[in-house]
C-alpha cells in the first residue's frame, strides 16, 4: 500500500502562487473576497507563507508553500470529539463534512494552521460558479464545518478508476495532486514514500530534506528541500 | 490497550452511556431510600412535617 | 395540616420574599429579560448566517465564547467549595449560605454548557457528541465530566431542599395553585420522621464527599482542552491545578456577589451576617494568594526559558497588545483583594462586594488572556494575528450573564434562599452547646474529655 508524500524543493519555488490557484479550482474552495480575506477568513488549502526575518537592510524572506503536512502522528485527529477527521490507510487525512460539528478543536490543535473553517455559506462570483469542479469529493462544503487539503483525493480515485478501465495495475505515478501538476518551477514532487525507488523517497532522504516543526513529533509526510 | 477498549466500545459512547446510567441509577436509588423512610408510628397521616421534625 | 403553627422569625423573613414581590423586582426581571431577548436575537442571527458574525478567524479559532465557557464552569465551583467542603468539615457558619452556593453551581453549569453550544459551527449536530463520541478527545472528557457534575450537583441542590419544600407545601397554602403543585411534587411526600432525617443527612454527606473530586475533575479536564494541544503556553502541566484554583477563586467571588444581592433584596441581614463575610473573605484572600503563586510559577518558568514560541506569547501578555488586559487581571485578582480584605474592617459586605466584582472581572480576563494570546502566536505563523471580538460576542456574553442572574433570581422567588431547616438545626446545636457549657460551669455535668 502506498504512503503518499510530497517533497517541495525551495530552491526551485519562486512563489508564483500557481499551486494556490490550481488548488482552488480543483477543490472548489470558496472566494472570501478582499474584505473577509483581510479579516483572516480566506480558505487556502495550499498557502505560500512568507517568513520575513531581520530588518531592513538585512532582510531575509523565506517563502514556504504549505499544503496539509499529512502527519503520520496527526494532532488534529487525536482531539476530534466525533471522529469527523480521520486518516486513510494510505496516510491521507480527510474530514467528513457530514460528521463535523464545527468545534474547531482540530484547527486549534494543528500546529501548521492547515485547517480552515467555513464562517459563512461558501460563495463564488457567477463566472467562477459556472466552472466548479463536479467531482463528488469536492462538492461545496456546508457552513460551519472544517475543511482542508486532501492531496486531491478525488484525483486518486479517478486515477484508480482509469487504471482499472484500461485493464492495468494502478501505480503510484498515475496520480498527482493539482498543485504538483501545475507547479511552474517543477518544485513539487509527489509519490509513494515507502517505495525505495520512488523519487520522493530518495529526495526525502536527501541531506537537504527537512520537515516543518519536526521537533513536535507530528511526523509530516511533506518534506522540504533547503534553499541554497 | 486503552485504545482497543475505546474502539471496541464505539469510540467510548458505550462507556459514557454505562457511566451515566449507573450514576443515574445510583442517585435514584439513594433518593428512593431517603424518601421511603418509614414513619415511626404506622397509620399516622403523611404531611405532618413539623410533627416529624420535633423528634429530631 | 397544621394551620395553627406560629411562624418563627426565621421563617417569616425567609418566606417573606416568596409571598410578596416588589415593583423593583419585576423591573430588574424585565431588564434582564430584555438582555436575554437581545442575546436570543444575536444568537439567531449567528445561527442563520454563520460564525462569521464573530471576530474569530484563522488562527484564532476560539475566543470569547470559550472564555465564557471556562468562566461559567469556573464559577460553578462556588457551590462545591462552600457547601461541600464546609459541610464535610462541619463549619457551622456555612448554614445560611449553602443554598445560594449550590444554586450558583447549578445555573453556572447550565450556562457553561450553553456556551459550548453557542460556539459550535454546527449547533444542530450537538448530539453527535453523544452518538459518535470519541473518548480519545479531551472535549469528550469535558462532556462526560460536566454531565456527571450537572447530575450530581442537581441532586446536591435538591436533597437539602426537600425538608424546606415540605415546609412550603404545608405553609404556602395561600400561594397560587401551580406553585403549590410544584412544592407538593418536589417535596415528594416528605414527612420528616426521625429515620427520614437520618437518611437525608446521610445522603447529603455522601454527596458532599462525592462532589468534591467530581468538581476537581471537571475543571481539570476543562484545562486539558488547552493543555493537550501543543500551542505555546497551553501545553503545560500547571494548567490543571491552575484552572482548579482559579475556579474556586472566581466561585467564591460569585458567591459573594449573589449572597450580597440576595441579602439586600430579600432582607436577610439578620441571617447572613458579618461572620460569613469575615470567614469567606479570608478564604477569598487565601485563594487569591494561591492564584498569584500559580500565575508567578507559570510566567516565570516560561519567561526564564528561551523557547521562542513560548516567550513571544508571554511578551504579548506582558508588553504586547494584551498588556492592558494582563495588568487589569493582576490588579483585580491580586492587588484589589489584598488591599481591601487584608484588614478585618475591610471584610464588610460592601468591601467584599467590591472585591468580588473585581475578582469576577479579573478571572474572566484571566481566561481570556490564557486563550486568545496563545492562538494569535502559533508556532508556525508568518504574521501575528489580531483578534477583536465583535458586538455579537460581547452581546452574547452580557446576555449569558443576564440569563444567569435571571434564572437565579426567579429560582429564589420560588424557593427560600436560606436553608431554613439547616439554620434551625444550627440554632438547636448552638443552644444545646450553650446549655451544656452552662451546666458544666455549674458543676452539674462531668466533662467527658480531660481538661487540659
Give the best residue of C55, C229, C390 to mutate against chain A (max A CB count within 10 A): C229
Count of domains observed in chain C: 1
What number of C-beta contacts closer than 8 Å exist between A and C? 131
CA atoms within 13 A on the CB side of C137: 28
DSSP state of A102: -
Q: For residue C148, give how far its alpha carbon lies from the nearest alpha carbon of chain A (Å).
A: 18
Q: What is the pLDDT of residues A35-72, one digit of tens each?
A: 999 888 999 999 999 888 888 889 988 899 999 999 99
| Three-class SS state of A92 | coil
Q: Which helix (H) or strand (E) covers residue C87, if one does? A: helix C86-88
CA atoms within 13 A on the CB side of C160: 31
For chain A, the first-to-last Cα distance in angstroms comes to: 34
Contact A104 C143 (CB under 8 A): no
B1 and chain C in contact, CB less than 8 A: no
B29 and chain C in contact, CB less than 8 A: no
Select the residue of C1, C155, C169 nearest B27 (Cβ to Cβ).
C155
Q: What is the DSSP string of A118-160?
A: --S-----HHHHTT----GGGSPPPTT-EE---S-HHHHHHHH
- In-domain check, residue C433: no
Q: What is the pLDDT of residues A82-101, one digit of tens each?
A: 989 999 999 999 999 999 99
**Residues facing residue C255 across a β-bridge:** none
Residues in C touching B7 (Cβ below 8 Å): none
Residue among C231, C347, C237 at smallest CA distance from C288: C347
pLDDT of residue B51: 45
Q: What is the pLDDT of residues A178-205, one digit of tens each?
A: 999 999 999 999 999 999 999 999 999 9
Q: For residue B14, give how far its alpha carbon lies from the nearest alpha carbon of chain C (Å).
A: 9
Q: What is the pLDDT of residues C263-311, one digit of tens each?
A: 988 888 888 888 899 999 999 999 999 999 999 999 999 999 888 889 9
**Residues facing residue A9 across a β-bridge:** A225
Q: For residue B36, give how far its alpha carbon lies from the nearest alpha carbon of chain C (Å).
A: 8
Cβ contacts of C74 within 8 Å, gap of 6 or more: C219, C243, C246, C247, C250, C251, C363, C367
pLDDT of residue C22: 85
Range B26-45 average pLDDT: 78
Residue A203: C-alpha distances to residues A15, A179, A187, A206 (Å) = 20, 18, 12, 5
C166, C184 in Cβ contact below 8 A?
Answer: no
pLDDT of residue C116: 93
| pLDDT exceeds 50 at position C2 | no
Q: What is the pLDDT of residues C58-90, one digit of tens each?
A: 899 999 999 999 999 999 987 777 788 888 888
Q: What is the pLDDT of residues C320-336, one digit of tens each?
A: 999 999 999 999 999 99
What is the band of C346 on the pLDDT scale with cuts at 50, 70, 90? confident
Residue C77 and residue C260: Cα distance in Å, rounded? 18
- Give the range of the structural domain holding residue C297, as residue numbers without chain letter: 24-427
Sign of the torsion angle spanned by Cα atoms A107, A113, A119, A124: negative
| pLDDT exceeds 80 at position A12 | yes
Q: What is the pLDDT of residues C148-183, one digit of tens each?
A: 999 999 999 999 999 999 999 988 888 888 999 999
Q: What is the pLDDT of residues C237-255, one digit of tens each?
A: 999 999 999 999 999 999 9
CA atoms within 13 A on the CB side of C241: 11
Residue A155 and residue A137: Cα distance in Å, rounded? 10
Residue among C298, C299, C370 at smallest CA distance from C64: C370
What is the model's pTM?
A: 0.92
Cβ contacts of C155 within 8 Å, gap of 6 or more: B27, B30, B31, C207
Nearest-5° Cα angle at C289, C288 to C290:
90
pLDDT of residue C438: 87
Alpha-carbon dihedral angle through residues C356, C361, C362, C365, given to the nearest 10 degrees: 160
Range A123-128 average pLDDT: 90
Alpha helices, H only, chain A: 18-27, 33-38, 75-79, 105-109, 126-129, 153-165, 178-182, 199-204
Contact C192 B50 (CB under 8 A): yes
- The grid cell for B17 is 452511556
Residue C135: C-alpha distances to residues A90, A97, A126, B2 (Å) = 24, 20, 44, 10
Q: What is the pLDDT of residues C104-150, one digit of tens each?
A: 999 999 999 999 999 999 999 999 988 888 888 999 899 889 989 99
Q: What are phi and psi of A190, to 5 degrees?
A: -140, 145
Residue A104 and residue C345: Cα distance in Å, rounded? 49
C contact set with B (CB within 8 A): 1-2, 5, 130-136, 140, 143-144, 147-148, 151-152, 155, 159, 162-163, 166-167, 169-170, 188-200, 202-203, 206, 421, 425
Q: For residue A42, give how far its alpha carbon lies from the nearest alpha carbon of chain C (Å).
A: 8
Range C420-445 average pLDDT: 86
Q: What is the pLDDT of residues C365-388, one digit of tens each?
A: 999 999 999 999 988 877 788 999
Contact B56 C194 (CB under 8 A): yes
| pLDDT exceeds 80 at position C184 | yes
Q: What is the pLDDT of residues A134-143, one digit of tens each?
A: 999 999 999 9
Q: For residue A69, give how far its alpha carbon lies from the nearest alpha carbon of chain C (Å).
A: 12
Fold observed for domain A4-225: Alpha-Beta Plaits (3.30.70)
| Burial class for A35, CB neighbours closer than 10 Å (0-12, 13-18, 19+) | exposed
Q: Which helix (H) or strand (E) covers residue A191, if one does? A: strand A188-192
- In-domain check, residue C65: yes
Range C309-314 average pLDDT: 92
Residues in A touching C313 (Cβ below 8 Å): none
CATH code of the domain in which C45 resides:
1.20.1630.10
Chains in contact with chain A (at least 3 beta-carbon pairs closer than 8 A): C
- The grid cell for C286 is 487565601
pLDDT of residue C14: 84
Query: Structural domain boundaries of chain A?
Result: 4-225
Amino acid at each position: 500500500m502506498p504512503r503518499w508524500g510530497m517533497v517541495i524543493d525551495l530552491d526551485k519555488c519562486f512563489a508564483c502562487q500557481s499551486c494556490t490557484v490550481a488548488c482552488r479550482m480543483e477543490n472548489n474552495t470558496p472566494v472570501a473576497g478582499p474584505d473577509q480575506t483581510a479579516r483572516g477568513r480566506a480558505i487556502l488549502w495550499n498557502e505560500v507563507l512568507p517568513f520575513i526575518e531581520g530588518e531592513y537592510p538585512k532582510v531575509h524572506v523565506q517563502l514556504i508553500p504549505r499544503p496539509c503536512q499529512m502527519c503520520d502522528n496527526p494532532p488534529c485527529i487525536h482531539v476530534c470529539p466525533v471522529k469527523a477527521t480521520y486518516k486513510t490507510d494510505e496516510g491521507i487525512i480527510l474530514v467528513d463534512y457530514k460528521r463535523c460539528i464545527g468545534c474547531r478543536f482540530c484547527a486549534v490543535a494543528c500546529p501548521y494552521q492547515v485547517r480552515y473553517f467555513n464562517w459563512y455559506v461558501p460563495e463564488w462570483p457567477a463566472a467562477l460558479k459556472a466552472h466548479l469542479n463536479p467531482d463528488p469529493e469536492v462538492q461545496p462544503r456546508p457552513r460551519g464545518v472544517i475543511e482542508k487539503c486532501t492531496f486531491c483525493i478525488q484525483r486518486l480515485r479517478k486515477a484508480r478508476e482509469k487504471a482499472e478501465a484500461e485493464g492495468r495495475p494502478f501505480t503510484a505515478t498515475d496520480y498527482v495532486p493539482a498543485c504538483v501538476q501545475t507547479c511552474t518551477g517543477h518544485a513539487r514532487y509527489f509519490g509513494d514514500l515507502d517505495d525505495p525507488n520512488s523519487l520522493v523517497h530518495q529526495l526525502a532522504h536527501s541531506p537537504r530534506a527537512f520537515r516543518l516543526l519536526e521537533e513536535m513529533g507530528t511526523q509530516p509526510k511533506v518534506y522540504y528541500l533547503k534553499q541554497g | 490497550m486503552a485504545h482497543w477498549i475505546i474502539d471496541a466500545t464505539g469510540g467510548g459512547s458505550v462507556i459514557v452511556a454505562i457511566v451515566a446510567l449507573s450514576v443515574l441509577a445510583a442517585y435514584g436509588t439513594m433518593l428512593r431510600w431517603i424518601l421511603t423512610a418509614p414513619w415511626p408510628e404506622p397509620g399516622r397521616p403523611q404531611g405532618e412535617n413539623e410533627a416529624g421534625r420535633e423528634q429530631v | 395540616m397544621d394551620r395553627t403553627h406560629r411562624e418563627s422569625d426565621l421563617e417569616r423573613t425567609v418566606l417573606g420574599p416568596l409571598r410578596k414581590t416588589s415593583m423593583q423586582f419585576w423591573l430588574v426581571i424585565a431588564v434582564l429579560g430584555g438582555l436575554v431577548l437581545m442575546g436570543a436575537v444575536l444568537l439567531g442571527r449567528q445561527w442563520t448566517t454563520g460564525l462569521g458574525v464573530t471576530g474569530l478567524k484563522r488562527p484564532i479559532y476560539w475566543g470569547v465564547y470559550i472564555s465564557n465557557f471556562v468562566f461559567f464552569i469556573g464559577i460553578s465551583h462556588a457551590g462545591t467549595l462552600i457547601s461541600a467542603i464546609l459541610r464535610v468539615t462541619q463549619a457551622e457558619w456555612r448554614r445560611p449560605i449553602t443554598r445560594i452556593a449550590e444554586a450558583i453551581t447549578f445555573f453556572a453549569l447550565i450556562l457553561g454548557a450553553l456556551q459550548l453550544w453557542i460556539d459550535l459551527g454546527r449547533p444542530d449536530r450537538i448530539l453527535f457528541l453523544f452518538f459518535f463520541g470519541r473518548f480519545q478527545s479531551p472535549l469528550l472528557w469535558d462532556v462526560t465530566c460536566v454531565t456527571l457534575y450537572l447530575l450530581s450537583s442537581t441532586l446536591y441542590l435538591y436533597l437539602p431542599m426537600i425538608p424546606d419544600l415540605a415546609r412550603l407545601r404545608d405553609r404556602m397554602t395561600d400561594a397560587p395553585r401551580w406553585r403549590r403543585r410544584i412544592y407538593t411534587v418536589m417535596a415528594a411526600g416528605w414527612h420528616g420522621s426521625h429515620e427520614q432525617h437520618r437518611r437525608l443527612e446521610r445522603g447529603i454527606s455522601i454527596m458532599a464527599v462525592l462532589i468534591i473530586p467530581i468538581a476537581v475533575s471537571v475543571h481539570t479536564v476543562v484545562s486539558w482542552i488547552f493543555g493537550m494541544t501543543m500551542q505555546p503556553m497551553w501545553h503545560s502541566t500547571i494548567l490543571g491545578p491552575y484552572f482548579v484554583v482559579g475556579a474556586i477563586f472566581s466561585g467564591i467571588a460569585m458567591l459573594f456577589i449573589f449572597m450580597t444581592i440576595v441579602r439586600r433584596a430579600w432582607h436577610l441581614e439578620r441571617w447572613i451576617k458579618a461572620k460569613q463575610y469575615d470567614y469567606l473573605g479570608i478564604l477569598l484572600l487565601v485563594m487569591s494568594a494561591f492564584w498569584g503563586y500559580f500565575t508567578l510559577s507559570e510566567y516565570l518558568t516560561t519567561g526564564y526559558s528561551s523557547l521562542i514560541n513560548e516567550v513571544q506569547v508571554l511578551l504579548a501578555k506582558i508588553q504586547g497588545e494584551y498588556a492592558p488586559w494582563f495588568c487589569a487581571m493582576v490588579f483585580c485578582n491580586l492587588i484589589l483583594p489584598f488591599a481591601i480584605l487584608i484588614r478585618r474592617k475591610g471584610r464588610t459586605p460592601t468591601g467584599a462586594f467590591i472585591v468580588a466584582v473585581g475578582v469576577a472581572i479579573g478571572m474572566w480576563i484571566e481566561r481570556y488572556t490564557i486563550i486568545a494570546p496563545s492562538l494569535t502566536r502559533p508556532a508556525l505563523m508568518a504574521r501575528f494575528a489580531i483578534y477583536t471580538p465583535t458586538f455579537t460576542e460581547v452581546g452574547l456574553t452580557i446576555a449569558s450573564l443576564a440569563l444567569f442572574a435571571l434564572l437565579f433570581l426567579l429560582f429564589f422567588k420560588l424557593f427560600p434562599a436560606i436553608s431554613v431547616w439547616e439554620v434551625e438545626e444550627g440554632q438547636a446545636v448552638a443552644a444545646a452547646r450553650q446549655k451544656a457549657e452552662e451546666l458544666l460551669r455549674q458543676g452539674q455535668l462531668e466533662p467527658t474529655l480531660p481538661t487540659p
